[in-house]
Chains A and B, each alone.
Chain A
Amino acid sequence: MAEEQKLFTVTIDNITIEVAAGTTILMAARKVGGDVAPPAMCFYSKLQGSGGKCRTCLVEVAAGSTADPRPMPKLVASCRTTVMDGMVVKNITSEKVKDARNGVVEFLLLNHPLDCPICDQAGECSLQDLSYEHGKAGTRYEFQRRLFQREDIGPYIQLHMTRCILCYRCTYIADQLTDTRMHGILDRGEHAQISTYISKAIDNDFSGNMIDVCPVGALTDRTFRFKQRVWFLKPLNAHRNCDKCCGKVTLWNRGDEVFRVTTRKDEWGEVESLEDGKPAWICNECRFHKKHTSDWVIEEPRKINRHSVISAGHYVNAVKPPEFIETVNGGRKPRHLMDIHEVSEVNKPNVHLNELPRSPKTDSYEK
């Protein structure tokens, strides 16, 4: 039998858990879940070597370990720092972390085009989620944003370099999943860009997974571009017998029409693991060429995180509150900040909206 795994005790945001030695702070925090897990834009637990670049996952280490309880002088990237026994980590309980994270979000958005209204990733974009949570309404950047031409890199994928946050995930996946990596990072600093250098086509068998790991809308599915907004689609788990990959996918349907096929993603936006622990990557054939429901055996609708816009209109997870708000408040009635009838000139109490025969017009109120 294998030796028993050594367990380390770590405290993250005052919650103490035990994790195996060698776990990173980020993965430990994900075990706790919820807000305690730092956001990750570049780290992808299924890609070796990823992480450390975007700096959104910075956390404060208030005590290094039981043996050496000194705090670490700088914030550390939780995705690349392993836990020590007795480590005390502060994520959202640290003002320093929140401040640094706001800074990182601002930096990430500095050159981002914010073209969410016309971006296919909208609704399932990590950067969008991140900026809702930590971003500011306005930008302090007064200069022209970085611009790149759109580029088709191969028959299936389009690259919108302006949206890229240089997380390097797509290069790792090309290294680790496809036979040869056809693209990489060209130039440095602000001018760094994803490129195939001499416009080579990327059409390796598993290259489509690049689209799934891209946290933003920089790599998009050319067979799906502008066809639908993701929140109008219904995700379904489905499978087929495929000799190249596991064949376990998510279909994104509207009615009977399959709009796109992706990997199955877990709550952290990463591809799910199969029973044998391997990530369920899918091949390009399943992704781009099997777009009929008849190609697939449909299993069940996918559960969608309640907070995602994709769950709008899907009421599967809606839970009726067990108690009335008065009961929760100990008999106290909720206090209205303002009684609309008292202050409104138009919405007078003598007009009952449900009694109007059709939708209200201005003159309905002027009685």
Chain B
Amino acid sequence: MAKKILLANDHIEGIRYYDAYRKNGGYAAVEKAFKMAPGDIVEEVKKSGLRGRGGAGFPTGLKWSFLAKPEGVPRYLVCNADESEPGTFKDRYLMEFHPHLLIEGLIISSFALGSNRTYIYIRGEYAWIVDILEQAIAEANSNGWLGRNILGTGFDCQIYVQRGAGAYICGEETALIESLEGKRGNPRIKPPFPAIKGLWDCPTVVNNVETLAAIVPIMNLGGEEYAKIGVGKSTGTKLISACGNINKPGVYEIDMTISVEEFIYSDEYCGGIPNGKRLKACIPGGSSVPILPANLLLKTAKGEPRMMNYESLADGGFATGSMMGSGGFIVLDEDQCVVRHTYTLARFYHHESCGQCSPCREGTGWMKRVLQNIEYGKGKLSDIDLLWDIQRKIEGNTICPLGDAAAWPVAAAIRHFRDEFEWHVLNPEESQRRNFGLAHYADPLEMAVV
């Protein structure tokens, strides 16, 4: 049985509300933290080895220690709840069913960073969650966990929820800050980084919902204990939102010692692939990360089993590996078409580009149209090389990582599934009726059984 720490109380009735949450050990971490010096909390988070759960996996303690602390200038903590990455829906689960866990994490983090006004920037489509959060904040307020002079420490803190208007790009931290300031959500040009000049030009830390929720168990267990969970630099537990062709889609908490194979096939997690189909490919970390074919997904290029953690998923670089990303685990079975799938993603990035920098603004639309042609049987073989060239010229040349995020899925699809693209081009009519779906991509393990 895997260790659960974030969702340990998942089964308790009414955990969404203050009373049940408090009865089950809630807000003990705040009590503990407020007896420590803010600097020690940062140290504790550093010791825990916690890595940002928003996608980039940057060590949170380190990020916090970069926060500039000029005299007389307020500092801000912003919780990034914009979660709009296709395939990722773990933050939603946390906020919907464990709002107090997030609030508690936010109080501790605000205290550690010295933020008196803390914001939750939530995706506009999560309209009903805003109510849940605001109720939780009101409960925390009336029980003295927020407001002025919390627990007599002299520390004031208030949490505000701000709704976005439904743009993926507003999840990028600097675009989020712009949007929070009431401007157009264009990513800023870095440097300066938010840790120096963020919200209203004040030092700001932006963290993902799950990152901030994980501060609670870190406080409860202590940084060193927390670091013992997991392996290597992938400490603690991670929420994975699994979807696609699996028997049990949903949000799972894993400690990062299990293998990808176990995650897909064991009944505790995804429960295998429905209708006895075979695994074809998988995007292990949300739509932005490279897709992997079954053989590279289950085993690394070196032949070791691939594990569900930051290092192992990234093993082999982009040539034969992928990324942990934000934990959106999308499984494709043998009936799925990689060309169609890539086209869908390209459409998404085209739609969501903010249009500031030319490679992303123009390139995403171009890729989309070329993929559309291939998908609908109007492609040429040279289009595949063209796509490769476009993505190559977008990647790394843009202001924010959305450009890369648009380029990587296309690059990986061509890298691993080039013959499927070619088949589409060469069989324009047949490709409209049926999928390439030939078995040689499919899961080598299953094939041995069959």
A140 lies within 8 A of B386 (CB): yes
- How distant is the Cα of A187 from the Cα of B352 in the complex, in angstroms? 10
Q: Give A126-180 interface residues, CB cut-off 8 Å to B.
A: 140-141, 143, 165-166, 168
Question: At the interface, yes or no: B34 with Cβ under 8 Å from chain A?
Answer: no
Question: In the assembled complex, how far is the CB of residue A44 from the closest CB belonging to chain B, in whole angstroms?
Answer: 14
Question: At the interface, yes or no: B396 with Cβ under 8 Å from chain A?
Answer: yes
B359 lies within 8 A of A190 (CB): no
Using CB atoms, name the residue of chain B closest to A80: B189
Using CB atoms, name the residue of chain A closest to B356: A53
Question: At the interface, yes or no: B22 with Cβ under 8 Å from chain A?
Answer: no
Residue in A77, A103, A185 with the greatest tally of chain B CB atoms within 10 Å? A103
Question: In the assembled complex, how far is the CB of residue A322 from the closest CB belonging to chain B, in whole angstroms?
Answer: 43
A188 lies within 8 A of B362 (CB): no
Question: At the interface, yes or no: B364 with Cβ under 8 Å from chain A?
Answer: yes
- How distant is the Cα of A83 from the Cα of B398 in the complex, in angstroms? 20
Q: Please indicate the chain A residues that have their CB under 8 angstroms from the CB of B355 in the complex.
A: 166, 185, 187-192
Contacts A52-B189, A53-B356, A77-B189 given; does A190 touch B361 at CB 8 Å: yes
B397 lies within 8 A of A166 (CB): no
Q: Please indicate the chain B residues that have their CB under 8 angstroms from the CB of A310 in the complex.
A: none
Chain A positions 50 through 62: 1 when the CB is less than 8 Å from some CB of chain B, otherwise 0: 0111111010000
- How distant is the Cα of A184 from the Cα of B169 in the complex, in angstroms? 19
Question: At the interface, yes or no: A111 with Cβ under 8 Å from chain B?
Answer: yes
Question: At the interface, yes or no: B24 with Cβ under 8 Å from chain A?
Answer: no
Interface residues contributed by chain B, number (CB under 8 Å): 29
- How distant is the Cα of A74 from the Cα of B401 in the complex, in angstroms? 12
Q: Is the interface of B mostly helix, strand, loop or mixed?
A: helix
A190 lies within 8 A of B365 (CB): yes
Question: In the assembled complex, how far is the CB of residue B362 from the closest CB belonging to chain A, in whole angstroms?
Answer: 4
Question: In the assembled complex, how far is the CB of residue B345 from the closest CB belonging to chain A, in whole angstroms?
Answer: 15
Chain B positions 362 through 384: 1 when the CB is less than 8 Å from some CB of chain A, otherwise 0: 11111001000000000000000
B353 lies within 8 A of A54 (CB): no
- How distant is the Cα of A140 from the Cα of B57 in the complex, in angstroms? 37
B189 lies within 8 A of A106 (CB): no
Q: Please indicate the chain B residues that have their CB under 8 angstroms from the CB of A165 in the complex.
A: 358
Chain B positions 397 through 411: 1 when the CB is less than 8 Å from some CB of chain A, otherwise 0: 111000000000000
Contacts A188-B167, A190-B365 given; does A103 touch B356 at CB 8 Å: no
Q: Please indicate the chain A residues that have their CB under 8 angstroms from the CB of B350 in the complex.
A: 189-190
Contacts from B to A (Cβ < 8 Å): 167, 169, 184, 189, 350-359, 361-366, 369, 386, 392-394, 396-399
Known contacts A55-B358, A103-B393, A190-B364; can you find 6 more A-B pairs with CB under 8 A? A55-B399, A103-B394, A110-B366, A189-B355, A190-B350, A192-B355
Return the 4 tightest CB-CB contacts between A and B, nearest first: A103-B393, A192-B355, A52-B189, A189-B353
